[in-house]
């Protein structure tokens, strides 16, 4: 095979695999947002399994490897984009080739079937409904570690799927540092008993949707290349770079929930929308890692959306829509959107305790994968860990072990990226503020200077750079959790102590 033949073959493969991914993403979007008929589940699951299998079969065929090896042999003759394309495809090929084809297809069908079962189990607070699915998914995840190969701990094989370069040693050190700083700070705040006024009332969903329109415009999400849906568990999905969709869930008694899920998902979507267009054909138009993705969503949600300037900007909009806020001032709102107290639901957790919610999941996943615990142990261990780390215990399974969709979707190794990504975001912000007047941008209702900095230093690179390379190139140093610890300590000490 010649160099030109190899490049042409890989270009055709990328085009076909992209089409298969688009089909799967559209099926998932449809199922999550449109209330599809329950009896469609078997056919839908089979179709998703076939798409996963077809993607796998098409990619791991012998001609793919021949093309990769041909181009690896003449690497110096390739452009930078071509070299990185070959690197990415080579890594993915050699990893997936180790996984039996029939296992891939069966797993795709399994998780497609498991997710609606999880929804019902969560609603009925019945762990036994989902337990058999979790057990089958765990068996696959454990085998996946062996198929991929790993050093020191099997969980490392799964972590690297979502956060390239991450491992148990790194994460144990990171979470230990957070445990030492956040847990005692939270205890001091609880003892001080200086909590802000609560935002609890009856907030019209229609008015919340009007506020959503203001939010997405203010934050900078391009709706001409996107769409907003309603779901049980908010997410962002990319069909193409010009079709990036977000979701939220509206609660009549909690207007903050939809506000911050929208800002969070907008952060994800803006990242996807601002990747360099030329990366798509090289299989590089994707995030560097889920941690880098989370750095963007958490930066927008917390470091912008829970700042004093943002409170000043959104308060007039809240007053227009809801009488509840008629007598509120900016300081009251700033304190209310920065609650710090023990809670049970991760996606509703405050900025201070959020990483502790992630730590619970990290420790349980790590133990599940190593075989230290089994699926049947999860409900009690979950409750015990919440009591130990956050000081609260679930009263039912919906606010306990059944609250997340991730395990029913087979996303083992994903949870740590939420906390690591938040720390990435603070480190990026620390550098950005040296050249960008962040408060001024927010007060001007124009986040374009912030987005421009992030696009230049993060978004545009896609998978051209690894997470470590993005951080070092943008901030001038490797990942350093001290910025996250200092940020939390300074902000919440000022607010509460």
Which residues participate in catalysis according to the annotation? Answer: 265
> What's 103's DSSP letter?
H
- Residue 385's CB is within 10 A of a number of other CB atoms, namely 18
Tell me the CA distances in angstroms from 277 to 155, 212, 245, 356, 478, one per residue in order. 34, 28, 18, 37, 28
Q: 332-369: b or e for each residue (b if 16 or more CB lie within 10 Å)?
A: bbbbbbbbbbbbbebbbbbbbbbbbbbbbbbbbbbbbb
The residue behind tokens 């200086």 is: 194
3-state secondary structure 125-193: CCHHHHHHHHHHHHHHHHHHHHHHCCCCCCHHHHHHHHCCCCCHHHHHHHHHHHHHHHHHHHHHHHHHC
> What's 405's DSSP letter?
S
CA atoms of 424 and 298, how far apart (whole Å)? 9
Integer-rounded Cα radius of gyration of the chain: 23
Which two three-digit tokens encode residue 66? 């021949």
Ordered strands of the 236-240 beta sheet: 226-230, 243-248, 236-240
Q: Is 198 exposed, middle or buried (0-12, 13-18, 19+ CB in 10 A)?
A: exposed
């Amino acid at each position: 095979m010649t160099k030109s033949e190899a490049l042409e073959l890989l270009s055709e493969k990328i085009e076909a695999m992209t089409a298969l991914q688009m089909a799967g993403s559209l099926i998932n979007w449809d199922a999550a947002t449109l209330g599809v008929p329950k009896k469609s589940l078997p056919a839908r699951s089979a179709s998703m399994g076939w798409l996963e299998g077809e993607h796998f079969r098409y990619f791991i065929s012998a001609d793919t490897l021949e093309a990769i090896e041909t181009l690896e042999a003449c690497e110096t003759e390739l452009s930078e984009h071509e070299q990185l394309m070959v690197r990415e495809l080579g890594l993915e090929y050699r990893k997936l080739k180790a996984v039996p084809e029939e296992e891939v297809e069966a797993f795709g069908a399994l998780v497609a079937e498991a997710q609606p079962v999880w929804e019902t189990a969560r609603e009925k607070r019945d762990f036994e409904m989902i337990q058999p699915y979790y057990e089958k998914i765990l068996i696959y995840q454990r085998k996946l570690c062996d198929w991929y190969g790993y050093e020191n701990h099997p969980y490392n094989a799964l972590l690297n799927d979502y956060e390239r370069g991450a491992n148990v040693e790194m994460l144990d050190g990171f979470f230990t540092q957070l445990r030492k700083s956040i847990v005692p700070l939270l205890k001091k705040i609880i003892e001080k008993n200086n909590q802000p006024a609560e935002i609890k009332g009856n907030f019209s969903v229609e008015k919340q949707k009007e506020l959503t329109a203001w939010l997405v415009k203010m934050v900078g999400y391009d709706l001409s290349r996107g769409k907003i849906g309603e779901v049980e568990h908010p997410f962002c999905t990319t069909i193409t770079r010009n079709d990036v969709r977000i979701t939220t869930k509206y609660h009549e008694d909690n207007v903050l929930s939809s506000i911050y899920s929208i800002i969070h998902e907008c952060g994800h979507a803006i990242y996807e929308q601002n990747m360099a267009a030329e990366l798509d054909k090289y299989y590089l138009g994707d995030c560097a890692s889920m941690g880098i993705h989370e750095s963007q969503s958490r930066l927008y949600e917390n470091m912008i959306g829970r700042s004093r300037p943002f409170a000043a900007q959104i308060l007039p909009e809240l007053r227009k829509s809801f009488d509840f806020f008629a007598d509120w001032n900016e300081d009251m709102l700033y304190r209310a959107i920065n609650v710090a107290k023990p809670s049970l639901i991760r996606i509703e957790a405050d900025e201070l305790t959020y990483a502790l919610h992630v730590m619970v999941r990290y420790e349980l996943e790590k133990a599940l994968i190593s075989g230290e615990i089994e699926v049947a142990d999860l409900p009690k261990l979950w409750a015990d860990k919440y009591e130990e780390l956050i000081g609260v215990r679930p009263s039912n399974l919906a606010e306990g072990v059944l609250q997340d969709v991730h395990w029913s979707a087979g996303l083992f190794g994903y949870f740590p990226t939420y906390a690591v990504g938040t720390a990435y975001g603070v480190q990026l912000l620390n550098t950005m503020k040296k050249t960008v007047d962040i408060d001024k941008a927010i007060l001007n209702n124009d986040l374009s200077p912030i987005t421009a900095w992030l696009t230049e230093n993060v978004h545009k690179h896609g998978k051209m750079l690894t997470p470590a390379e993005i951080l070092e190139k943008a901030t001038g140093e490797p990942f350093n959790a001290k910025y996250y610890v200092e940020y939390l300590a300074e902000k919440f000490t000022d607010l509460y102590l």
